[in-house]
């Protein structure tokens, strides 16, 4: 969303994008070289290395994110992006969504570098809630526990990369949290049926490949900074009702993260979130034992 006030846009970018750790960063394979703009080479079609044809993050945007993430690590206010950085980011984001809608390139190099799976590999798959978990609690993702969250993604995008970022990694268990970005409209209009249907398709793909599923609930959220007109509480509650029913029907392990993270008004407890959408380190500390218990249960019943 844009406004008539560039300063408001910058504040929005800081709170909604920087907090999500550079959501559309593209990780190119080491040998790949992006096609230069204006070179005349096509960036559509079939290629041996498609990630080489996805526009990399512009240097000035990368510099901004590096400074902002450094500030967050030092627990100081991130710098404001310039108007030029804001415009460059939006233009690049739009191109990347066209060139790599599912964002296969985000983890392509990391996936290729993984060793063979052990007998207890777990993939945490999702959006910024999952990706930021790795930044807030990196020790959680050791011993063959792999983070494959991508900030800003909807369930439609996740299905597109489910094979590359889950099935091909050979986990025993996949932990899925997905859907809040669909409600926020990140990839356009949708419905609860579509959201739950996409998650059900991921479940079916996992089980077809012998992967046990831990299905996480939606987290509480009273509103989205990028879409202030959307009031998501009732929709998220209905999605959670349907996800719980799906888990019961398919004998999946379901984790209710909503209840311990919500306040009395069903919004995110401000002691556990600083933006009303993403957990802080304290919020992830609440989630971690629930996740570990659910994964252990899924492994025990596999």
Read off the pLDDT of residues 92-137 as tens digits, 9 standing for 90 and up. 888 888 899 999 999 999 999 999 999 999 999 999 999 999 989 9
- Residue ending a domain, choose from 72, 99, 126: 99
Residues spanned by the domain of 42: 6-99
Domain annotation covers residue 1: no
pTM: 0.83
Q: Which secondary structure element, helix H or strand E, spans residue 43, and what is its range?
A: none
When pLDDT is averaged across residues 190-214 and rounded to a whole number, the result is 98
With respect to residue 104, please indicate whether it lies within any of the assigned structural domains: no
Check whether residue 93 and residue 175 sit in a common domain: no
Residues 84 and 177 in one domain: no
Q: With bands split at pLDDT 50, 70 and 90, how would you rate the model's confidence at 260?
A: very high
Residues 195 and 275 in one domain: yes
Q: How far apart are alpha carbons 114 and 148 in whole angstroms?
A: 13
β-sheet bridge partners, residue 224: 227
The pLDDT value given to residue 226: 72
Question: Of 99, 125, 160, which residue constitutes the final position of a domain?
Answer: 99
Same domain, 265 and 119: yes
What pLDDT digit, counting tens, does each position of 53-82 carry? 888 889 998 888 888 878 877 878 778 888
Instruction: Give the CATH number for residue 293.
Output: 3.40.50.1110
Helices 128-136 and 281-300, axial angle in degrees (round to 10): 110
Residue at which a domain ends, from 41, 66, 99: 99
User: Domains in the chain: how many in total?
Assistant: 2
pLDDT tens string 129-187: 999 999 899 999 999 999 999 999 999 999 999 999 999 999 999 999 999 999 999 99
Q: Which of 133, 131, 132, 182 is nearest to 155 (CA)?
A: 182
For residue 42, the model assigns a pLDDT of: 60
Tell me: do 236 and 121 sit in the same domain.
yes
> Integer distance in angstroms from the first to the last C-alpha of the chain?
44
Query: What is the pLDDT, as a whole number, of residue 26?
Result: 36
């Amino acid at each position: 969303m844009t406004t008539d006030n560039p300063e408001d846009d910058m504040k929005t970018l800081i709170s909604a994008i920087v907090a999500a750790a550079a959501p559309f960063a593209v990780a190119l394979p080491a040998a790949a070289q992006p096609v230069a703009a204006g070179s005349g080479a096509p960036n559509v079609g079939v290629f041996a290395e498609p990630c080489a044809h996805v526009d990399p993050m512009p240097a000035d945007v990368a510099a901004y994110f590096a400074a902002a993430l450094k500030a967050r690590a030092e627990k100081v206010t991130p710098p404001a992006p310039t108007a030029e950085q804001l415009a460059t980011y939006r233009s690049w984001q739009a191109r990347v969504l066209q060139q790599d809608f599912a964002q296969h390139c985000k983890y392509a190099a990391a996936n290729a570098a993984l060793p063979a799976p052990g007998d207890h590999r777990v993939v945490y798959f999702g959006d910024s809630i999952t990706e930021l978990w790795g930044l807030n609690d990196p020790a959680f993702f050791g011993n063959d526990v792999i983070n494959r969250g991508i900030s800003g993604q909807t369930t439609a995008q996740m299905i597109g990369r489910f094979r590359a970022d889950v099935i091909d990694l050979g986990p025993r268990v996949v932990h899925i949290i997905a859907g809040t970005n669909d409600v926020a409209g990140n990839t356009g209009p949708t419905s609860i049926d579509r959201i739950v249907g996409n998650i059900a398709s991921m479940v079916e793909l996992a089980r077809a490949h012998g992967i046990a599923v831990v299905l996480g609930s939606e987290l509480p959220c009273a509103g989205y900074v990028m879409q202030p007109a959307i009031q998501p509480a009732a929709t998220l509650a209905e999605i959670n009702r349907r996800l719980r029913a799906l888990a019961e029907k398919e004998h999946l392990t379901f984790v209710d993260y909503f209840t311990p993270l919500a306040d009395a008004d069903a919004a995110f407890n401000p002691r556990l979130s600083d933006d009303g959408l993403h957990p802080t380190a304290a919020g992830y500390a609440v989630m971690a034992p629930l996740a570990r218990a659910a994964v252990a249960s899924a492994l025990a019943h596999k």
